A and B are shown apart, each in its own frame.
Chain A
Amino acid sequence: MLLTIFNGSPRGKQSNSRFLCDAFMKGYIEKDDGKDIIQIIDLIEVAKIKSLRSIFAQSDHVIIAFPLYIDSMPAQVKYFFETLKNYKMKKQIQSIGFFVQSGFPGKIHSTFIEQYLSNFSMRLGCQYMGTVIKGGGESIKISALQKKIIHRLIFKIAALTDLGRVGHLLDNKKHFNHFYELGKQYKKFHYFDSHIIKKLDRPKKINWFNYSLYKFIAENFYWNTLLKRYNSTQQRDNTPYS
């Protein structure tokens, strides 16, 4: 059995999507019985997008991972989908599932594209395995940027206490663990474990408190750090098209 995971992030190997796919793969291969093969293909590494169609056709099971881009899939992923036009399943059963991760916390942002993905699977004639949604995905990048001790401390406390129920978004180990477990379960039972999916679907509600906490951390520890790095803090609010 060949499972192919297509990583649709334009950031390729350095993407949040890829990190989650890698964790999934680790879980998947933990108990290797020699029967199953798993591969991860970064869409941006494939020079001829048309060749993706044959990789797709050779796979028994497919997972397509991508970041939410303007409420749907990145253009690259849509180009890939378009190469599957008139695709006729060659295998007896071919299954397809998706990982969608968004920058904004909250499942709501990805639920609309999820409906599309379910129809898309039907269009291909594949068995739809579901969509694993992870909000707050860009937080994976925040921790690596922390240089100031005070920032690291706030960061740690928020992550450890799951402050405001958004704190867990800062805990990369936990995210990767969830995807690791997801991979393990998928290998065993061949479905996405609903308990893990539920864990990823947090915080369920955004209220003023967790919004303020998220805003404080993401704006100060991420955007402002990057703006400083590029010496662009003064230009932050530029409106070049007014």
Chain B
Amino acid sequence: MQITILNGNSNPKDTSFEQYISQVTSQLESDHDITNIKLRKLKIKLCTGCFGCWVNTPGKCIFNDDTDMIRESYMRSDLVIFASPVIMGFTSALLKSAQDKLLPLLHPNFTLLKNEIHHKYRYKTYPLVGLIVSKEPKMQDNDISIITDIYNRIAINLNTSLSFSITTQSPVKELMYAVNNF
């Protein structure tokens, strides 16, 4: 299976997060083809909300930055893992900067899904998505479930489903099980 990990950790000094992702990567590598993208090393121009990716250069962002490579890897994958420390109760701004730039993968036209309006899909199939987060100090009890709920919504918009949502406190084994059994 082709797997892309979008690592949204902006702080290289957060070694425990990096170690967890390294462990995940090395264990997955034995059975899968892994692309590990450290977002902090890329040039990401923030989305300007111009919709050029739908009306000017349909399917592509009009700006030339490293997100073309992210979208390419995203669409080549069977599973995309969003990975990020929790900062101020949500996944990182760095990860969000890459997620905003996934808009070109959708189509401007609409579709009706369970009495909700969503965008039509540009591609026939999209990868499944998973979520790994590391907790921050002073989290509220429901923070992780709120993040998971939002990622479930993101998955609907990206025509897929969230196959797992785990924290770095869970043993890597648990993630391996989730990946190998979906």
Taken residue by residue from 97 to 123, chain A's Cβ proximity to chain B (1 for < 8 Å, 0 otherwise) reads as 000000011101100110110011011
Complex Cα–Cα for A85 and B52 (A):
34
CB-based A-B contact count at 8 angstroms: 159
Say which one of A7-15, A28-36, A155-163, A179-187 lies at the interface with B.
A7-15
Q: Judge whether A119 and B96 touch: CB under 8 Å.
A: no
Q: Judge whether A236 and B89 touch: CB under 8 Å.
A: no
CB-CB under 8 A from B92, the residues of chain A are 78, 82
Contacts A226-B54, A240-B59 known; list 10 others, CB within 8 Å.
Answer: A69-B47, A69-B100, A78-B96, A115-B142, A116-B150, A123-B138, A123-B140, A223-B55, A239-B122, A241-B59
Q: Judge whether B88 and A85 touch: CB under 8 Å.
A: yes
Q: Judge whether A10 and B150 touch: CB under 8 Å.
A: no
Say which one of A54-62, A146-154, A200-208 lies at the interface with B.
A200-208
Q: Judge whether A235 and B46 touch: CB under 8 Å.
A: no
Specify the chain B residue showing the minimal Cβ separation from A236. B58
Q: Judge whether A84 and B88 touch: CB under 8 Å.
A: yes
Say which one of B26-34, B113-121, B170-178 lies at the interface with A.
B113-121
Q: A20 contacts the other chain (Cβ, under 8 Å)?
A: no
Complex Cα–Cα for A32 and B155 (A):
46
Q: Judge whether B157 and A116 touch: CB under 8 Å.
A: no
Q: Give the interface of B toward A (CB within 8 A).
A: 46-52, 54-60, 71-72, 74-76, 87-90, 92-94, 96-97, 99-100, 102-103, 105, 107-110, 112, 115-118, 122-123, 138, 140, 142-143, 146-147, 149-150, 153-154, 157
Beyond A74-B47, A119-B143, whether A241 also contacts B103 by CB under 8 A is no
Q: Judge whether A215 and B109 touch: CB under 8 Å.
A: yes
Q: Judge whether B89 and A70 touch: CB under 8 Å.
A: no
User: What is the distance, in angstroms, from A150's C-beta to the closest C-beta of chain B?
Assistant: 21
Q: Give the interface of A toward B (CB within 8 A).
A: 9-11, 15, 67, 69-76, 78-79, 81-82, 84-85, 104-106, 108-109, 112-113, 115-116, 119-120, 122-123, 205-208, 211, 214-215, 218-219, 223, 226-227, 229-230, 232, 235-242
Q: Judge whether A241 and B123 touch: CB under 8 Å.
A: yes
- Is chain B's interface secondary structure helix, strand, loop, or mixed overall? mixed
Which residue of B93, B108, B140, B154 is within 8 Å of A82 (Cβ)?
B93
CB-CB under 8 A from A226, the residues of chain B are 51, 54-55
Q: Judge whether A82 and B88 touch: CB under 8 Å.
A: yes
User: What is the distance, in angstroms, from A15's C-beta to the closest C-beta of chain B?
Assistant: 7
CB-CB under 8 A from B112, the residues of chain A are 206, 208, 211
Q: Judge whether B108 and A223 touch: CB under 8 Å.
A: yes
Q: Judge whether B96 and A74 touch: CB under 8 Å.
A: yes
Q: Judge whether A232 and B90 touch: CB under 8 Å.
A: no
Q: Judge whether A75 and B71 touch: CB under 8 Å.
A: no
CB-CB under 8 A from B107, the residues of chain A are 236-237
Complex Cα–Cα for A29 and B47 (A):
33
10 contacts between A and B (CB under 8 A): A67-B49, A71-B153, A73-B96, A82-B87, A104-B117, A109-B153, A115-B149, A116-B147, A206-B116, A241-B72
Specify the chain B residue showing the minimal Cβ separation from A71. B153
Q: Judge whether A120 and B89 touch: CB under 8 Å.
A: yes
Q: Judge whether A106 and B116 touch: CB under 8 Å.
A: yes
